Structure 1
Amino acid sequence: MVRRFIRFVLCLIGVVVIGGAGFYFVTAPSALPESHWANLGAPDLKNGEQVFWTGGCVSCHAAPGSEGDAKLTLAGGLALKTPFGTFHTPNISPDEKAGIGSWTLAEFGNAMKRGVGPGGQHLYPAFPYASYTRMTDKDINDLFGYIKTLPKSPNVAPPHELPFPYNIRLALGGWKLLYLNDAQHVALANPDDKLKRGQYLVEGPGHCGECHTPRDALGGLENDMWLAGAPNPDGPGRIPDITPGSKDVSSWSEGDIANYLETGFTPDFDTVGGSMAEVQRNLAHLPKSDLEAIAAYLKAVPKR
């Protein structure tokens, strides 16, 4: 009887060890190889600047309270309060010690597309790599080149404040298995180049769905409600539905949407407010053709 019990315990331990090893193997951080990022050539800094504003990098990574040109110093430190805890955005200025000045393109690219940090650790999806994974390698190369031209900051952001079990990064491998992929969120019928561009901007670097789409209990986007509105991550109220079925914007034309993104004025001459005001100021740096492409895509997505 004792021997049987011992064998049972040893078998149980073996199953746990093998299962744990299997889980780690499946969910371990998976970075693209250095060779993937080779031969991209010198970055196009003009395009990198456009990608920078599309992605709204200053909205999260500028020092809280900074204004004007000071916002281009990506010192980090903004506190993002979520149901999973408080995240503090990192310094992504070109500073070699406090920022990303010592990073390689491969390290930057893997953070953007795979959510893997330079030490090989999972990054938390408060950084919207689940959207950035759809970005082209060229845009990432250009963005990295542009960020390296910006001012350095020695600021060191505080660590995240996350309760157990959300402070266990290994669990993020399971989250990625469920939610990290580069598939398009919606299938468009016979899209022309303008629609394709709009889809890329919205679903990729613009990461519009990160705020405008509701999330499930694990923090993943509910794709069947793509862009249909969600609770406001910054406080009370809701982020609006921006699909063609929305009560708020269904009557807006493509021109109305493009003009709103460029000027901040609605068709009724109201002004943009809340967290969208910062987004609009970023998008206003884009060429009119990109704003029109975004508008075309928003009019083409399915009603919810």
Structure 2
Amino acid sequence: MASDFGTFVSPNITPDPEFGIGDWSFQDFVRAVRHGVAPDGSPYYPAFPFEFYATLTDRDMADMWAAVQEVPPSNFVPEENEVPLPFSIRQGVKLWRNFFYEPVDYVVDETKSTSWNRGRFMVEGPAHCAACHTPRNFAGGLDTDAQFAGASGGTAGWTAPPITTEALAEGGWTEESLIAALRTGLTPTGDAFGGAMAEVVHLSTSYLLDQHIEDMAEFLMDQ
């Protein structure tokens, strides 16, 4: 994943004990996913969206852990991150966390429907929509005062449009068209998502339950 701070490469998370996470405990897995901390105590780069996974329940974590165990082990060794100094000093992430680490804190809005709240949980949590659609400051921290206002990848060359309710409505989006787009990748105008969003649909949202996509669309059109 290209960024203004370098190119980050995802690790092997198959249950291979040497090259993957096969020697991890369930507690190691939870700490990594929810808090962004490796079993040895070193911090993960925020290219891994652990801030958004903080809301995952114990059941969610147990289900994810069980799914990972069913993946065939692989001895594949990914390439190293291509991150220049000073960002290559991983311990510097601890300093970054002191200023910019803001794990999602999900609280049910009693004035809204159950489906709206489920949609908010998905959008603000595990779907991590803000990771791309919210601008970041000079240090890569999210500008939470401009949530979903749109962002760009700077030197990485990508752009994520605003997905606030107002911006979506102005763009001609409806709940129905959002549902269709998150399932198929087709926009209301008949165009297809490109770049990173095409990957999001192909590898993520197209697998969601209909209820989850419907709930996400309901929340996005009424934030």
Structure 1 pair 233/98, CA: closer, same or farther in 2 (3 Å)? Answer: farther
- What TM-score does the superposition give when structure 1 sets the normalisation length? 0.67
Question: Is 2:208 the partner of 1:286?
Answer: yes
Please give the residue correspondences for 1:83-102 in structure 2 after superposition, counting only pairs within 5 Å.
Answer: 83-102=4-23
- Deviations along 1:107-139, whole A, 9 cap, x unmatched? 111011111101111111111111112222221
Q: Work out the CA distance in 2 between the residues paired with 1:235 and 1:86.
A: 9
Q: Work out the CA distance in 2 between the residues paired with 1:244 and 1:250.
A: 10
Instruction: Answer yes or no: is the 8 Å Cα contact 1:93–1:100 preserved in 2.
Output: yes
Question: Is 2:77 the partner of 1:156?
Answer: yes
Structure with higher Rg: it is 1
- Deviations along 1:55-85, whole A, 9 cap, x unmatched? xxxxxxxxxxxxxxxxxxxxxxxxx222222
| Partner secondary structure for residue 8 of structure 2 | strand
Structure 1 pair 271/81, CA: closer, same or farther in 2 (3 Å)? Answer: closer
Please give the residue correspondences for 1:109-120 in structure 2 after superposition, counting only pairs within 5 Å.
Answer: 109-120=30-41
Q: Work out the CA distance in 2 between the residues paired with 1:134 and 1:179.
A: 18
Q: CA deviation at 1:297?
A: 1.3
Letter in 2 for 1:286: L
Aligned pairs, number: 222
Please give the residue correspondences for 1:219-238 in structure 2 after superposition, counting only pairs within 5 Å.
Answer: 219-232=140-153, 235-238=156-159
Partner residue of 1:146 out of 64, 67, 88: 67
CA RMSD of aligned residues (A): 2.2
Instruction: Answer yes or no: is the 8 Å Cα contact 1:243–1:250 preserved in 2.
Output: no
Instruction: Answer yes or no: is the 8 Å Cα contact 1:199–1:294 preserved in 2.
Output: yes
Q: CA deviation at 1:221?
A: 0.6
Unaligned runs of 5+ in 1: 1-79
Partner residue of 1:260 out of 178, 181, 184: 181
Structure 1 pair 256/270, CA: closer, same or farther in 2 (3 Å)? Answer: same
- What TM-score does the superposition give when structure 2 sets the normalisation length? 0.90
- Deviations along 1:119-174, whole A, 9 cap, x unmatched? 11111111111111222222112111101111221111233232222122232222
Unaligned runs of 5+ in 2: none
Q: Work out the CA distance in 2 between the residues paired with 1:268 and 1:232.
A: 25
Letter in 2 for 1:268: T
Please give the residue correspondences for 1:166-185 in structure 2 after superposition, counting only pairs within 5 Å.
Answer: 166-184=87-105
Q: Work out the CA distance in 2 between the residues paired with 1:221 and 1:195.
A: 24
Q: Work out the CA distance in 2 between the residues paired with 1:266 and 1:224.
A: 27
Q: Work out the CA distance in 1 between the residues paired with 2:155 and 2:30.
A: 28
Instruction: Answer yes or no: is the 8 Å Cα contact 1:92–1:99 preserved in 2.
Output: yes
Question: Is 2:133 the partner of 1:239?
Answer: no
| Partner secondary structure for residue 167 of structure 1 | coil
Question: Is 2:122 the partner of 1:201?
Answer: yes
Letter in 2 for 1:140: M
Q: Work out the CA distance in 2 between the residues paired with 1:271 and 1:83.
A: 26
Question: Is 2:41 the partner of 1:135?
Answer: no
Instruction: Answer yes or no: is the 8 Å Cα contact 2:104–2:124 preserved in 1.
Output: no
